[in-house]
Structure 1
Amino acid sequence: MSLTHKFLVITLPLVTLIILSITTVPYLFFKLILYVKKLVRIENLTGKVVIITGSASGIGEQLAYEYAKRGAVLSLVDIKEDNLKAVADKAKSLGSPDVITIVADVSKVEDCKRFVDETVNHFGHMDHLVNNAGTVMAEQLEDCVEISAPRSVMEVNFWGALYGTLYAIPHLKRSRGKIVVIASGLGWYPLPRLGYYNASKAAIINFFETLRTELGWAIGFTIVSPGFIKTDLAKKALASEASLRIFPMASAEECAKAIVTGVCRGDLYVTYPFWVKLGFPLKVIFPELVDWLHRLVFKIPTKSSGNKQNLNLSHDSQLQAE
């Protein structure tokens, strides 16, 4: 180890503690002032143009209703056409002046360009892009026979959010708009047997934090980390992996209210329910304990049995919700 690195190893922890002790109280006071300012300057959504992907069900559906109640006009995007019109009709009845529906697969770059273009062509501009579409697969890596099978999780969850964002950025810069990303608490507190989903959500969080640094001067960003929310997707995931049932599920409607309120305040992060945040310090401070608890709860053997079973290779094992 070079002298420079030795010096940093010795001095940086001490310097960090000194800086934290000096700045913590002033920073908390600054946060309080900023919070009060946000409460005074809550964004008025009347007439704002909002694109919501994955809006035919789940959190996306409830987000459509919450934006509608606040007077936004909506572009609802989903791969499933059957419930999309019903959501649009209800959004109009709740107060949205105008709603269009677009059937699109967010994992296809051309579809993402199309739903952005159709929205702007119809409304003339756009103000919010809500990247909500997602999919999940419950499977361990060692049980995966076809390694390409989990690829769609990343294609929908990560690339689907990135494609739409790419084409929305020029329009959002002009309107000083916002990008909302529905990630997951599992993006920073991963649970067993959801590795593909965990990784895709961690990728979303890291990418959009980077993008916020690069574009934060022009576009607002809110990264949402829900816990287990009562949606069809979550219910199917819990049915596929029984150990997940120990986690209580929260209301999708209340989650949507918390998200839109946070977005209108200009919050960088929204976590719902709030207690989900407690997982992060536990993982950082007590990683060995967390690993042990996960093995206990999920009944993971400490020694390999040598008997690999493919639990989720059927078509139904891949759970999608857009």
Structure 2
Amino acid sequence: MQASHEQSLTNSVVAITGASSGIGEAVAYEAARRGATLILMARSADKLTALAQDVTLLSGAPAYVVPVDVGDRAAIDDAVEQINTLTGRVDILLNAAGFGDFESIVDTDWAVVEKLFKVDVLGLMYFSRKIVSLMMVQGHGHILNVGSMAGKMPTPKSAYYSAAKAAVIQFTNVLRLELKPFGILATSINPGPVATNFFNIADKSGQYLNKVAAFTIDPGTLATKIVNAMGTTKREINAPFIMAVASVLYPLAPRIGDVIAGTFGNQK
């Protein structure tokens, strides 16, 4: 039975990029449990189809599969056309697609840097822009963008990823201000390390999650926080708590913060 404090998403259309794994997949299950109609987006049609079958059983509502590479602007245009045909509206958009790469500034392949910004930043911005146009017609909507604690606090071997996520956070902040007159909300989601396959690509050593186990977030727990925020005026989701506190203190004592980030934060 649904707990009394959980809002229902019945009759709400929730679109999720990066839905085939990680945070996006966890949110898909949680939103389905609350009755949402889902639009599932990622590159892998096979994974999305299997997920759609599972979440439909949970929600009793449709789950549509829209394969898309968010690093490709033309593919985003095609995806939005499909969404228009399938549902004609999006009430909530979660931009969860993205990847990271933990290498030093000079060792990171430049092609990886370009791809990182195309997917994590430009793709997120362009998808938001397209869906916002729909939401303005509707007179309501909510954009939730997955940033990162890396966008708030620097650590070694994350220069490009941190820069990308800082851009996501600031983009979301401006969305919140610009879109308020149109009844559209915007929330940034800034987690620390989440126990997902994100690190299969980002962490070539394979040891990072073990080193930061004390700060690692369960994706299901984070998904509950994200879905609880849908349709609310919550500005940010910052987790875990200790890193959320550190992100507030860092600008107040940046010299001390640099020492901590360069020692205790140097786990990659």
1:111 CA drift (Å) = 1.2
TM-score of the two chains, using structure 2 as the length reference: 0.89
8 Å Cα contact 1:62/1:253 also seen in 2: yes
Distance 2:12 2:266 in 1: 49
- Report whether the alignment pairs 1:225 with 2:215: no
CA distance in 1, matches of 2:113, 2:41: 23
Q: Do the aligned partners of residues 174 and 239 (structure 1) sit closer, same or farther apart at CA in structure 2, a change above 3 Å counting?
A: same
- Residue 241 of structure 1 deviates from its aligned partner by 6.7
Match of 2:243 among 276, 289, 292: 276
In the superposition, relative to structure 1, how do residues 102 and 235 fare at CA in structure 2: closer, same or farther (>3 Å)?
A: same
Q: Distance in 2 between matches of 1:221 and 1:114?
A: 24
Q: Residue 179 of structure 2 corresponds to which residue in structure 1?
A: 215
Aligned length: 260
Return the offset for 1:243: 5.5
Matched, 1:162 2:125: yes
Structure whose alpha-carbon radius of gyration is higher: 1
Inter-CA distance 196–262: structure 2 relative to 1 (3 Å threshold): same
- When residues 171 and 245 of structure 1 are mapped into structure 2, their CA distance, relative to the original with a 3 A threshold, is same
- Identical-residue share of aligned pairs (%): 28
1:1-322 superposed matches below 5 A:
44-144=8-108, 146-175=109-138, 176-218=140-182, 219-234=184-199, 236-240=201-205, 242=207, 245-248=210-213, 249-297=216-264
Cα displacement string for residues 44-75 of structure 1 (whole angstroms, at most 9, x for unaligned residues): 42111111000001110011111111111111
- Whether the 8 Å contact between 1:43 and 1:264 is mirrored in structure 2 is no
1:275–1:264 distance in 2 versus 1, CA, 3 Å: farther
Whole-angstrom CA distance in 1 between matches of 2:90 and 2:179: 17
The superposition leaves residues 249-294 of structure 1 with CA deviations (integer Å, 9 ceiling, x where unpaired) of 1110111001110224331111232332112133223322222233
Structure 1: distance between partners of 2:206 and 2:102: 7
Cα deviation code 1:191-229 (max 9, x no counterpart) = 210111111000011112112211122111111111111
Once structures 1 and 2 are overlaid, which stretch shifts more, 157-166 or 147-156? 147-156
CA gap 1:197/1:96 in 2 versus in 1, 3 angstroms: farther
State the match for 1:36 in structure 2: none
2: distance between equivalents of 1:285 and 1:82?
47
- For 1:198 and 1:96, the matched residues in 2 are separated by 39
Q: Structure 1 residues 43-52 or 64-73, which shifts more?
A: 43-52
Aligned to 2:145, the other structure's residue is in SS state strand
Tell me which moved more, 234-243 or 269-278: 234-243
- Counterpart of 1:158, as a letter, is V
Q: Do the aligned partners of residues 281 and 266 (structure 1) sit closer, same or farther apart at CA in structure 2, a change above 3 Å counting? A: closer
- Contact conserved, 1:243 with 1:297, CA < 8 A, in 2? no
- Three-state SS of the structure 2 residue aligned to 1:114 is helix
TM-aligned CA deviation for residue 82 of structure 1? 3.2
